[in-house]
Each structure stands twice: as structure tokens, then as C-alpha cells.
Structure 1
């Protein structure tokens, strides 16, 4: 990469700036500094590189970069910064001892590169994996793929052999499915006779009532777990900003969605098929986006966060228009704690959750910490900083107890915290098995089973009884088995995947894509799905629903359901990728009492806007005789916008500004 920018105004004598700009030569602060000190007679700038020991022993070897004063490049591994130089910008005069009184710009910058700048572009968190897995040979032709879109990633080591993916179906998962812990077990006779278990057949056997009470209940449960929502969208709610998360309340009467415009919109979903707009609350001093939100168990308060150390607590009562209460997580009796990536006081909050009794909030932060905040005393009662990277997700393990906590971090671990035994401020145990950072953690609510999503493109099921002890965890580096790819820009190099040698997970799920953003995953609810499944959003615009044995139970294609549901403004066609309709399902929520799924997504032309789509089970029918019809489009306050549905049906493009302005006015 080269530079041709002009120097900043002010700050010292710039005698030759105009000459350099006129000649088209590249300006750099180092050159200006040297020119400002050209007349100095002190010896501060004297420099003569001392020969290395290896150079003396091997004089034929290549010299170091800074030994060649005519080399016009700054060498930073695979990054080259090229500077234009004047013809006379070489070694200057020499003193009586024969040493140069000044050095060239290139020499100075190469010296810096060999020290400070080179360290800035290097990555020190990677250590080689066990022998036999890593191949340290590199192919220079693949540098672009290894270093990512910006060329700033760490060099990825080659692995030998094909990827070693876990077995599907999973044996442990099949045992769980037959145990009754996750849904009703299928009828053995039906399996042996290979009978097709249709919805109509299940309804018939239930209506006949020829089974006993126990079998009758089992039949009802088996019917519920077969009702997986389908792709056709009952409602498409459009936002002018990307949607980051959305969840139903525990009783299913409430739904909220968070968008990048720093607004949380609430809906009455007591009728899961016919929503009503409820209320909108703002985050008044947000940074980038609203990262997460959580609803109190009694549905009275909503807590939501941004890339700040402040959490807003807003009442959900539509008649209450008061400003949200601000909770400062960085405040302690001894002062403010934590710093962000720029060294400023404070930190980002990535995840928030209410406790089961509604008295506390747990938060995961960019300060590598887990914080428990007491709502009554308005202060943090626990702050743990054992993770080695951002804590992207937190949750309580048991809905009836605030003692067990789970946290997932970019250090690739899920840590288990027991607040009853934290005298040494250490975790009770660790779940190890992911090779990249964690994006989400969700508990089954029974204090035993947990799932996590990861940038290694897998979702894992964990059993609390199989967690790794802290003593064993301290014997190795958990974060030393990843590829180091940048999930925000790069595709995942699947041929580099290898299972973690210390993997203690129960089941591994694959198929969805965890790219671009922190994709979320969840357990399916017991009421509407009999707890039979786990599901996750995906960067390719789908929701993946998995059986516990890691087989795919179904998919909901949100991209297909919303394709062209928003007109395209032709004046943006100058940008080549603006004509591409893209969808990234960041979060999904299964209604607790009905076969209904709500998906919150980045959606639209180049993912520039957002949607919340409602999908219900309709036996894969593309049309519905009921009212309202399938595929209706709405604005954020659930006002119907017929123009949007027309665009979806006709794939319309708005040709002029007047048509576009008229459509915007309709919103």
C-alpha cells in the first residue's frame, strides 16, 4: 500500500512542503522531522547499524533490509509500504569519525519496522498445535487467502490431511434423543416397520384415544415436536436499520427487537399470529448499535446495552414514557474500573441477562470480564476477569437459581462459575472444544445442559458433569488451536478444521455459517417443540434446526421469504454489489406455546437494512386461506405497506427520485 496524502497543518517548519506537493512526491512525517533537524549539530541522529553475529559468520547471506539505503520499501512481513524519495534523499554528510550525520527516510522507517511497527502487525497469541497436525510449510501463492481481506491476519499454518469432522449422526446425541430428556421418543414399532409418521396420522391416533393416559400424553408431545415452522413468512416487518436481536418473553405474550438505530421495539404477541405494536424505547448515547437486550421475568422491565459500560433499564408499560434508568457497570465504591481498546475509561457490554428472580443482571464485556449487577443496591456485586478476550455471551444456568453462570469468550472457552464457591475467584470448570471465539451461549434452564455457537462454524452441546477442571485447564493453552481468520470479512477455511484434542462437548452441530456478526443459537422451548431441537441463525440467510443427534431437522430460508420485499433505488446501481439482495439471520426465537418462529436479520440490498419475519408451521403451504394472508409487509409499527408486497411480487425497481420519495413517505 502506498501513500500520497498531504501533511497535516501546523506543527513545525514545513519549508519544502509546497515543493514536495508540487512535484508529486510522497510526504511522510519522518522526512519532515529529518528536514526540520537538518541543521542540528548534535549527534542524536548518528546511526550505524552494528553487524549481527550471523552476518559476520556468513557474509554471503542476504543483508538486513535497513542496510540498503536505496531500498524504497518498508518491509512488514507481507505488507509493503512504498515511499517516493528525492534523488538527493540518501545518506547525508559524515562527521570526523566517518559516521553519517543523518539517515534516509527509508532507513529510519525500516528500523522502526524491525522493532515497534513489526510487532504491531504481528500476532502473538498463536502457538503450534500438537505434532502431526500442523505443517509449517507455506505456499506464497496463497498469501491472500491466508492473510484475509486486508492482509493483516496472522499466517495460518497448514494442516495435513482432510478435515476431521465429528460423526453424524452422533451416538451420544442419539442416546439423548431416546432418553426422553429432549422430547418424546419415537414409537419403536413405527421405526421398525418404517411407517411414515405424518401429522394427519398422529392426529387420528390422538382422536381415537385408544392409548392409555401415559401414551396419550406422549402422542400429543410427539405431535408438537413435529411442527417445525416453515419458510413462508406470515409477516415481514421492515426496519431502516440492521436488526441485531429479538426474543419472545418466557410466557410468549411479549416480543422485542433491537436495531442499529438504537431503538428497541416491543410488540404484544399474546396472539402469536396477530401481533400488535406496543412501544419503542431508545438508547440515548449508544455506540455503533444495541448489542443485546433482556426482559425481566415479570415482563415489567427491559434492560439493553450498547458498546458502552452503561445499561439502560426501561419500563415496558406503554403508558410510561419516562426516560430509561441508566446503570453504570464500571462504577465501584473505589472508583471506575475497566478500559476499552483505546485506553479510555469504561468498556463495551456485549451481552446482558436477567436472573431468574429479576434482582440481578449479568453482563459480558469487552474488558474480558463477567459482571453481576444488583438492581436494588445499584452497584456491581461481582466482577470476574479471568477470560483472556472479550466476553461475547453470558447466561444463568438455572432459571430458579442465580448461583450458576456461564460465559463464552473470544478466547474459545465457555467457563462455568459457581457463586457459592468463589473464594479464589476461579471458575468452577471450563468447557473446552471450540477452536475459535464464542459468539453465543444459551442454557437449557435445568442447570445441566448448555449450547454455544462459535466462529469455527460449529455449535456444541455441553453437559455440566463433563466440564474440565481448572487444574487440567491450566496445563495447556486453549486458544492455540485456531486458524485466526477474521470472521467479519473472510470465509472460514474449512480444510483447516480439526477437532480440539481436549474436546469435552457432548454433540457437535455443523451446517450453519457463523460469519460477519455474532450469530446466536438456542434450545427449542418445551411447550411448542417438546425441547426436541437446538437451532441457530446463519450468515447465508437461513435458520438451521437440528436434532440432538446433529442431523438436520429442518431449515427456514429467510432470504427466500423476503427476497425483493423492498424496492431497490436505481441511483445506487453505481456500486456493483448494491444490486445483490443479502440476508444474515443474526437471531431467532421460537414461541414457547405455538409453532411460530421469529427471525431478526440483516436484510435487504447489500444487507443495509433489517427485517423481523414471522414463520409458522403450515405444512409447507405457500398460501393461506386465513386472514391476514401470508407474506404481508409492514413497517416497524406494524402498519401495512402494500408497496412493499408489490415490490416482492413484481421485483420492482424504482426508476426516479419521485417514486422513491413517495414510497418512503408511505412508511
Structure 2
């Protein structure tokens, strides 16, 4: 019999078994035990999402199922954990991570152009979506998804390829297939600029003054540093750029890869380490503290068979995930980096083009003989466009899931440790390029080439979600 929570939802149906998973190199040697580092990932995840041991002893339960929410609340009220009637962060994650945002969807917006990027702000109060027709919309989540700002991007080439919101949420930068990145004021909830006629779009030139002001390269990925003083970008000229916003000039250009740098990000809040992924199939780690001396990456990680579409950092300066055109997500530990890539002839499929061809069926089970990744996740598809993947929120799930868009128009949610597909969200008619999980609420937004931006939630038994300001009360009760 399934264990049910107080809302009547079958927990075992939330987490179906899946065989689309392998543990890094261990998958190449089925009889070989898992490496210690893989046990460490599992242990860290348990520490961040398992309840206090005393709470697990309240009443009878099946050991293979989570402690029910009712028992958790009863244990908190009875102070079983000795925390003065409060949940620990792990207790909170144990409860909230069970309520996956699978109900819906409810329409946020519908545009006549492909949606390329969409992300929540760090506090979840804003949501930004960028479209191929040059529109970037900023929605105020707490005011019923009202459009706070409708930006018409300048100097567009092909599409809005990426956006990034400053840590103080005052400025937004956006990029396209151009060396000019533009920055615009976000404004406040009281100011709107739907016409966008007088808006100042400050142009930041990433070209180093080496060209004639034309579009010699484009920018695929751009991110603010934690302090908001710098931008890091990956480009079509195989380079990584760092722009100093205070000095208003380019401060660093790294000839980083042998092909397009599709994705870059800072590893953690220190902003010393940068991760990059390229069409040359390699992930690289760059330490800016020694870069000027060595001119080389701190290390290289090999394992993908095709180009890297996207990288997301766990934020701890150690782990990150990458979405690859070989139709896999890989989990990496930078302590396994090597000084140079391991090249094995014949791995890449030379006559295959992800832009218009399906991935060859005979290649789906191929594995790199020198794979340095910790784990590999399969089931989604990365075709036609740079599909994005992410860790689930630390606050509500302890980052125990990985989620991704997919060319086949679905959103996939994987269990980080087991690799099981715990949910598949089906609604869109075209590729889902980007998706974003709210940092605190059980809410996920998916955006697609069909122009749709839709909201998935777990409000209960399928009823329409409650007004958003009320959900702050729901969040507070799990502190």
C-alpha cells in the first residue's frame, strides 16, 4: 500500500524507478564498487535533505518511504528533535522536496516568438523571459505575474541568447550574437516601461577594440559575479571574457577552447573559479588567481562525446552539472580534473549535426573510455538548441534533484543520487530550451519555442494556485 501525505498524494508514484542512469566510470565496470566520491555526493545530499533521526522514530512506517509530513509536524510540535519546536534546514528540505511542481500547467504568457531564456530572480520575486523577436519581459511574481517591464532589445542578432540579473536586482544585462552586451535598469514594482521608448540600454563592448565594431563574434552565455562588479561571458570565438563594470572596460580575454564556448559560470561566491563548456566536448575550470601566471586552465574534465550546451554550478566550488549534445547530463567533481584532456580517436560522430539531425541510435549507449564524471543522467534530448539544466533549489530540496528542458518538448526531473526520472512535465509542442524552479516555492516555469511560458506547481489536488502573497506564510512555517 502506498503511503499518502495529508493532501492525499501518492508518494511512491512521485518517484518511479528508472534505468536511465549510470555511475560515471563504474558503469563501464558493472562489478566494480562505486568510488568514494560518489558515496560522498550521496552522503552530502542525505545530510541536506534527510530529517532528524529522532523524527524518523515517530510511529510505524515503511523504511523505504519518506517520513510523512504529518509525523514531521507532530514531531516538531512535540520538540522530538530538541530544536525548540523548529525544523532544521534538512527537516524542511525533507518535507518540501516531496511536493514536486508537477500540477498544471497554468499559462503565464504566450508570445508569437520562440522563448530562449527564462529565470527567476534570486529571491523569486521577479521572473525574466527573453524571446527571439527581441522582447524581454520582466514579471512581478508577487503581484500576480504582472509585466513590470517590457524591454525591446537593441542591436539584436538572431535572438536573445542569454540574460542575467544583477545581485541587487537593479540591472539586467542581455546578450545576442554580437560582441555588444546591453544593460538596462530593471526599475521597481511601481515603475513600468511597456513602450520602452526612452529606456537607456548601455552598450558594453566585449570586442577588445580589435574589430571594426561589426559583429565578429556572438555571446552565448553571460553571468553577473556575486558582488555585481563583473560579468563573465562565453563566445563564438572560442573565448571567455570578463568585463569590469566599475572600470567600464574589458578586463580579461581567455582563448579558452578550440570551438564555441556555449556556457560559462562562476563556481561559487568567491568568483575566483570559472567553469566553461564548449563544442570541443570539454569542460574546463579556470582559477583567475593563477591565470595570469600560467595562462592555462586549472584543469580539464573529459567525458562528454559531443559539445557542451550548458553548465550549472552547485555553488560549493566543487560540483557542477553539464548538459551535452550526446543527450546526457553529467555530474562533475572538480577534484578529478586533469591537466590536459584525454583524447580518444573515433569518439565523436563526425558526420552528425545536432542542428538538424536526430542523434544516431547506435551512439546512445556509447561511453567515453576516460570518462571523469561522477554520474550520467539519460532520458531527455539536446537537439537544435542549447538546452539548459539545473540543480533544484537548496532551500526547499537540498539540491537533491536535477531538472532540464528537452528537445522533445518535455521537462525532466531526475533524482541526483539514484538517477531516477521522478517527474516528466508534458505540455509544450516545441523544444523547451529553458526552465526555472522557484527558489522557495514548489513552482517551476517552463518556456518553449512554441512561445509559451507556463507555470507548474504543487498546490494540492489540482486546484488553481492561491494568490502569491499568501504563499509567504507557507514558506515561513518551514523555518
State the TM-score, normalizing by the size of structure 2: 0.81
The CA distance in 1 between the partners of 2:101 and 2:367, in whole Å, is 32
Q: For the structure 1 residues 418 and 181, does the alpha-carbon distance in structure 2 shift closer, same or farther, using more than 3 Å as the test?
A: farther
The CA distance in 1 between the partners of 2:234 and 2:212, in whole Å, is 14
Q: Which residue of 2 aligns with 1:336?
A: 211
Instruction: Measure how far apart 1:386 and its partner are.
Output: 3.0
Q: Which residue of 1 aligns with 2:173?
A: 303
Q: Which residue of 1 aligns with 2:434?
A: 587
Q: Which residue of 2 aligns with 1:290?
A: 160
Question: Helix, strand or coil: the match of 2:431?
Answer: strand
- Maintained 8 Å contact 2:49/2:397: no
Q: For the structure 1 residues 509 and 611, does the alpha-carbon distance in structure 2 shift closer, same or farther, using more than 3 Å as the test?
A: same
Q: For the structure 1 residues 558 and 245, does the alpha-carbon distance in structure 2 shift closer, same or farther, using more than 3 Å as the test?
A: farther
From 459, 462, 481, give the equivalent of 2:347.
481
**For structure 1, which runs of at least 5 residues remain unmatched after alignment?**
1-163, 339-343, 563-581, 604-609, 629-667
1:213 pairs with 2:75: no
The CA distance in 2 between the partners of 1:313 and 1:325, in whole Å, is 5
Query: CA offsets per residue over residues 359-388 of structure 1, 9 Å max, x none?
Result: 111111000111111112222111111301
Query: CA offsets per residue over residues 42-84 of structure 1, 9 Å max, x none?
Result: xxxxxxxxxxxxxxxxxxxxxxxxxxxxxxxxxxxxxxxxxxx
The CA distance in 1 between the partners of 2:127 and 2:164, in whole Å, is 11
Query: CA offsets per residue over residues 200-246 of structure 1, 9 Å max, x none?
Result: 44444444443322994243331022121014113341011000010
Q: Which residue of 2 aligns with 1:557?
A: 425
1:261 pairs with 2:133: yes
Q: For the structure 1 residues 191 and 540, does the alpha-carbon distance in structure 2 shift closer, same or farther, using more than 3 Å as the test?
A: farther
- Maintained 8 Å contact 1:241/1:261: yes
Instruction: Measure how far apart 1:459 and its partner are.
Output: 0.5
Instruction: Measure how far apart 1:616 and its partner are.
Output: 1.0
Could you say which structure has the higher helix fraction?
1
Q: 1:418-457 maps to which residues of 2 (within 5 A)?
A: 418-422=287-291, 423-457=293-327
Question: Helix, strand or coil: the match of 2:49?
Answer: coil
Q: Which residue of 1 aligns with 2:250?
A: 380
Instruction: Measure how far apart 1:296 and its partner are.
Output: 0.5
Q: For the structure 1 residues 193 and 622, does the alpha-carbon distance in structure 2 shift closer, same or farther, using more than 3 Å as the test?
A: closer
From 229, 247, 262, give the equivalent of 1:359.
229
* Structure label with greater radius of gyration: 1
1:614 pairs with 2:455: yes
Q: Which residue of 1 aligns with 2:360?
A: 493
State the TM-score, normalizing by the size of structure 1: 0.59
The CA distance in 2 between the partners of 1:437 and 1:381, in whole Å, is 27
Q: Which residue of 1 aligns with 2:115?
A: 243
Q: For the structure 1 residues 182 and 250, does the alpha-carbon distance in structure 2 shift closer, same or farther, using more than 3 Å as the test?
A: farther
Q: For the structure 1 residues 280 and 519, does the alpha-carbon distance in structure 2 shift closer, same or farther, using more than 3 Å as the test?
A: same
From 396, 405, 408, give the equivalent of 2:277.
408
Instruction: Measure how far apart 1:464 and its partner are.
Output: 1.5
Query: CA offsets per residue over residues 619-652 of structure 1, 9 Å max, x none?
Result: 4x33348569xxxxxxxxxxxxxxxxxxxxxxxx
Q: 1:133-282 maps to which residues of 2 (within 5 A)?
A: 173=38, 175-180=40-45, 183-185=48-50, 193-195=63-65, 197-213=67-83, 216-217=87-88, 218-270=90-142, 274-282=144-152
Query: CA offsets per residue over residues 569-625 of structure 1, 9 Å max, x none?
Result: xxxxxxxxxxxxx2311111111111111111112xxxxxx1111111134x33348
- Maintained 8 Å contact 2:459/2:465: no
Q: Which residue of 2 aligns with 1:665?
A: none
Q: 1:483-562 maps to which residues of 2 (within 5 A)?
A: 483-484=349-350, 485-496=352-363, 497-559=365-427
- Maintained 8 Å contact 1:244/1:291: yes
Query: CA offsets per residue over residues 339-367 of structure 1, 9 Å max, x none?
Result: xxxxx762011110011111111111000
Instruction: Measure how far apart 1:556 and its partner are.
Output: 4.1
Q: For the structure 1 residues 240 and 207, does the alpha-carbon distance in structure 2 shift closer, same or farther, using more than 3 Å as the test?
A: farther
Q: Which residue of 1 aligns with 2:463?
A: 623
Question: Helix, strand or coil: the match of 2:430?
Answer: strand
**For structure 2, which runs of at least 5 residues remain unmatched after alignment?**
1-26, 469-479
Which structure exhibits the higher relative contact order, with contacts defined as CA atoms closer than 8 Å and separated by 6 or more residues? 2
The CA distance in 1 between the partners of 2:299 and 2:409, in whole Å, is 35
The CA distance in 2 between the partners of 1:508 and 1:174, in whole Å, is 15
Question: Helix, strand or coil: the match of 1:389?
Answer: coil
1:468 pairs with 2:345: no
Query: CA offsets per residue over residues 502-521 of structure 1, 9 Å max, x none?
Result: 21111111111111211001
The CA distance in 2 between the partners of 1:583 and 1:486, in whole Å, is 19
Question: Helix, strand or coil: the match of 1:583?
Answer: coil
Q: For the structure 1 residues 288 and 535, does the alpha-carbon distance in structure 2 shift closer, same or farther, using more than 3 Å as the test?
A: same
- Maintained 8 Å contact 1:363/1:394: yes
Q: What is the root-mean-square deviation of aligned Cα atoms in Å?
A: 2.8
The CA distance in 1 between the partners of 2:178 and 2:47, in whole Å, is 38
Q: Which residue of 1 aligns with 2:201?
A: 324
The CA distance in 1 between the partners of 2:370 and 2:223, in whole Å, is 29
The CA distance in 1 between the partners of 2:312 and 2:72, in whole Å, is 31
Instruction: Measure how far apart 1:252 and its partner are.
Output: 1.2
The CA distance in 2 between the partners of 1:353 and 1:478, in whole Å, is 32
Q: Between Structure 1 and Structure 2, how many residues are aligned?
A: 423
The CA distance in 2 between the partners of 1:521 and 1:194, in whole Å, is 28
Question: Helix, strand or coil: the match of 2:91?
Answer: helix
Instruction: Measure how far apart 1:337 and its partner are.
Output: 8.4
Question: Helix, strand or coil: the match of 1:420?
Answer: helix
Q: For the structure 1 residues 319 and 198, does the alpha-carbon distance in structure 2 shift closer, same or farther, using more than 3 Å as the test?
A: same
Q: Is 192-201 or 494-503 further displaced after alignment?
A: 192-201
- Maintained 8 Å contact 2:160/2:176: yes
- Maintained 8 Å contact 1:355/1:361: yes
Question: Helix, strand or coil: the match of 1:554?
Answer: strand
Q: For the structure 1 residues 585 and 625, does the alpha-carbon distance in structure 2 shift closer, same or farther, using more than 3 Å as the test?
A: closer
The CA distance in 2 between the partners of 1:626 and 1:294, in whole Å, is 29
